[in-house]
Amino acid sequence: MDKLIIQGGSRLNGEIKISGSKNSGLPILAATLLADGPMHICNLPHLNDITTMLALLRCMGVDVTIDEKMCVEIDPTTIRDFEAPYELVKTMRASILVLGPLLARFGKADVSFPGGCAIGSRPVDIHLRGLEAMGAEIEVDGGYIRARAPKGLKGARFLMDKVTVGGTENLLMAAVLAEGTTWLENAAREPEIVDLAECLVAMGAKIEGIGTDQLEIQGVKQLHGCTYSVMPDRIETGTYLAAAAATGGRVKLRATRADILEAVLLKLEEAGAKITVGEDWIELDMEGRRPRAVSLRTAPYPAFPTDMQAQFTAMNAVSEGASAVVETIFENRLIQTHELNRMGAHIVLEGNTAMIEGVEKLKGAPVMASDLRASASLVIAGMVAEGETTVDRIYHIDRGYECIEEKLQMLGANIRRVPG
The three-state secondary structure class of 314 is helix
Toward ligand EPZ, which CB reaches closer, 267 or 373? 373
Alpha helices in 203-298 (DSSP H): 234-246, 262-270
Q: Which residues pair with 183 in a beta bridge?
A: 157, 216
Task: Out of 19, 21, 43, 164, point to the residue binding ligand EPZ (CB under 6 A).
Answer: 164
Toward ligand EPZ, which CB reaches closer, 179 or 331? 331
- Using CB under 6 A, which of the segments 77-85, 121-129, 341-349, 405-413 binds ligand EPZ? 121-129
Q: Rounded CA gap, 258 and 42, in Å?
A: 21
How many residues sit in the footprint of ligand EPZ (CB under 6 A)? 23
Q: Rounded CA gap, 83 and 368, in Å?
A: 34
Task: Out of 105, 127, 234, 407, point to the residue binding ligand EPZ (CB under 6 A).
Answer: 127
What residues from 384 to 403 belong to the interface with ligand EPZ (CB under 6 A)?
A: 400
Specify the DSSP element, H or E, that contains 339.
helix 336-342
Q: Pattern 246-285, binding to ligand EPZ, x per CB under 6 A? A: ----------------------------------------
171 sits near ligand EPZ (criterion: CB under 6 A): no
- The number of CA neighbours under 13 Å toward the Cβ of 76 is 25
What is the nearest approach in angstroms of ligand EPZ to the Cβ of residue 127?
Answer: 5
Is 226 considered catalytic here? no
> Is residue 47 within 8 Å of 219, Cβ to Cβ?
no
Residues across the chain: 420
Residue 141 falls in which region: left (phi positive, over 0), alpha (psi -120 to 50) or beta: beta
144 sits near ligand EPZ (criterion: CB under 6 A): no
83 sits near ligand EPZ (criterion: CB under 6 A): no
Toward ligand EPZ, which CB reaches closer, 130 or 249? 130
306 sits near ligand EPZ (criterion: CB under 6 A): yes
What is the nearest approach in angstroms of ligand EPZ to the Cβ of residue 361?
Answer: 28
Task: Supply the DSSP symbol for 15.
Answer: E
Specify the DSSP element, H or E, that contains 408.
helix 404-410
Catalytic residue among 117, 199, 226, 403: 117
Order of strands across the sheet that contains 366-368? 366-368, 388-392, 3-7, 414-418
Toward ligand EPZ, which CB reaches closer, 265 or 286? 265
166 sits near ligand EPZ (criterion: CB under 6 A): yes
Task: Supply the DSSP symbol for 155.
Answer: -
Buried b (16+ CB within 10 A) or exposed e, 369-398: bbbbbbbbbbbbbbbbbeeebbbbbbebbb
162 sits near ligand EPZ (criterion: CB under 6 A): yes
Alpha-carbon dihedral sign for residues 402, 404, 409, 410: positive
329 sits near ligand EPZ (criterion: CB under 6 A): yes
30 sits near ligand EPZ (criterion: CB under 6 A): no
Q: What share of the chain is helix, strand, coil (3-state, %, to 5)?
A: 35, 30, 40
- Using CB under 6 A, which of the segments 30-38, 61-69, 122-130, 223-231 binds ligand EPZ? 122-130
Residue least distant from ligand EPZ (Cβ): 166
Strands 296-297 and 353-357, sheet pairing: unpaired
Around Cβ 351, how many Cβ atoms within 10 Å? 9
- Amino acid identity of 403? C
What is the nearest approach in angstroms of ligand EPZ to the Cβ of residue 8?
Answer: 24
Q: Rounded CA gap, 72 and 81, in Å?
A: 20
Task: Out of 84, 372, 378, 394, point to the residue binding ligand EPZ (CB under 6 A).
Answer: 372
What is the nearest approach in angstroms of ligand EPZ to the Cβ of residue 334?
Answer: 14
126 sits near ligand EPZ (criterion: CB under 6 A): yes
- Using CB under 6 A, which of the segments 159-167, 317-325, 358-366, 388-396 binds ligand EPZ? 159-167
What is the nearest approach in angstroms of ligand EPZ to the Cβ of residue 121?
Answer: 6
> Is residue 27 within 8 Å of 188, Cβ to Cβ?
no
234 sits near ligand EPZ (criterion: CB under 6 A): no
Task: Out of 35, 72, 103, 124, point to the residue binding ligand EPZ (CB under 6 A).
Answer: 124
Toward ligand EPZ, which CB reaches closer, 269 or 331? 331
Q: Rounded CA gap, 149 and 132, in Å?
A: 9
23 sits near ligand EPZ (criterion: CB under 6 A): yes
**In the complex, which residues of this chain contact ligand EPZ (CB under 6 A)?**
23, 26, 94, 120, 122-127, 162, 164-167, 188, 306-307, 329-330, 372-373, 400
* Catalytically annotated residues: 117
